[in-house]
Amino acid sequence: MRLTANSECSEIEQTRVFANWILDLGEGKVGGDNDGDEKEYLSSYMLCESEQLHDQFDTTLYSPDVLNGLKLSGIPNHKILLKVGVPIILLRNIDQKSGLSNGTRLQVLSLGNQVIEAQIISGSNIGSRTFIPRMSLTLTDKRIPFKFRMRQFPVVVCFVMTINKSQGQSLSKVRLFLRQPVFTHGQLYVALPRVKSKQDMKVLIIDDNRIIGNGTKNVVYKEVFSNL
């Protein structure tokens, strides 16, 4: 299908209007088929060896069930369920030259015991096939008085992603769910420019009483732009 001059101009105009709207938003001027068998991957945990460590906490308190139930930001879960065709996102930098960095989106092609074959679907290496290995990851968190090591695939299923994780992504359509207003400067601005036009973005705003709204807070510190 050949685009006419009028349709090309219309698309350019829509992109221009959307780009200007995004800039105004950032400056605070806008207001008022995957069927198939699942494969389960379990990590193996191992407490770091330390005699002093065993004196600091009761090992019965941190049983395997407790450790396996820990869910920490940026860390894959103890149990991951995957199937061919599912979208996933990387949680570690593996090979940046090949486009395998933290935040890269991929689609699963085949599932092995030690590697996952996947196709890159974001960034500059779209279409490239690659293999994601199991990795030994040492978890550290100030809320946990010890370190432990897990061996797991550094991925999570990526039907949805957080606003921060979406930075740098280019998407054809986006559905943004705001169960609560955004709370940091520029966060709403980061979420909305992932598409090229308003028609490709839909936002669902809902409050604590499950009432759908048509407006949300846009946190912008205008003094940042005052001297620009």
Give the whole-angstrom CA distance, residue 95 versus residue 52: 37
3-state DSSP assignment of residue 121: coil
Range name among 30-39, 107-116, 175-184 with the lowest pLDDT average: 30-39
Co-location of 143 and 181 in the same domain: no
Co-location of 135 and 51 in the same domain: yes
Within 13 Å of residue 154, how many CA atoms lie on the same side as its CB?
20
Q: Which two tokens stand for residue 83?
A: 């199937």
Range of the domain at 104: 39-157
Range name among 79-93, 117-131, 191-205 with the lowest pLDDT average: 191-205
Give the whole-angstrom CA distance, residue 42 versus residue 186: 37
Bridge partner residues of 225 (DSSP):
none
Co-location of 142 and 71 in the same domain: yes
For residue 115, the model assigns a pLDDT of 92
Co-location of 124 and 75 in the same domain: yes
3-state DSSP assignment of residue 37: coil
Q: Which two tokens stand for residue 43?
A: 């990590």
Give the whole-angstrom CA distance, residue 150 versus residue 79: 11
For residue 90, the model assigns a pLDDT of 92
Co-location of 131 and 220 in the same domain: no
Co-location of 149 and 176 in the same domain: no
| Residue-wise pLDDT tens digits, 83-106 | 999 999 998 899 888 889 888 889
Is the CA virtual torsion 53, 58, 64, 67 positive or negative? negative
Co-location of 190 and 125 in the same domain: no
- Bridge-based pairing of strands 174-178 and 201-206 is parallel
Which whole number is the average pLDDT over 135-152?
79
Number of domains composing the chain? 2
pLDDT confidence bin for 3, thresholds 50/70/90: very low
Co-location of 93 and 63 in the same domain: yes
Co-location of 79 and 184 in the same domain: no
Which residue, 139, 157, 175, sits at the end of a domain? 157
| Residue-wise pLDDT tens digits, 6-62 | 566 777 787 788 788 777 777 777 765 445 578 888 886 555 555 455 555 565 666
3-state DSSP assignment of residue 87: strand
Highest mean pLDDT of the ranges 108-112, 193-197, 199-203: 108-112
Co-location of 73 and 109 in the same domain: yes
Higher pLDDT, 195 or 62: 195
Which residue, 157, 175, 210, sits at the end of a domain? 157
Provide, rounded to the nearest whole percent, the portion of the chain with pLDDT above 70. 83
For residue 217, the model assigns a pLDDT of 81
Which H/E stretch holds residue 155?
strand 155-157
What residue type is assigned to position 38 of the chain?
E
Co-location of 109 and 51 in the same domain: yes
The mean pLDDT of the chain is 79
Token look-up 């990851």 returns 137
Burial of 150 (0-12, 13-18, 19+ CB in 10 A): buried
Nearest to 179 by CA among 156, 199, 157, 203: 203
3-state DSSP assignment of residue 123: helix
Which whole number is the average pLDDT over 215-225?
78
Co-location of 96 and 148 in the same domain: yes
Please give the span between the terminal C-alpha atoms of the chain, in angstroms, as a whole number.
45
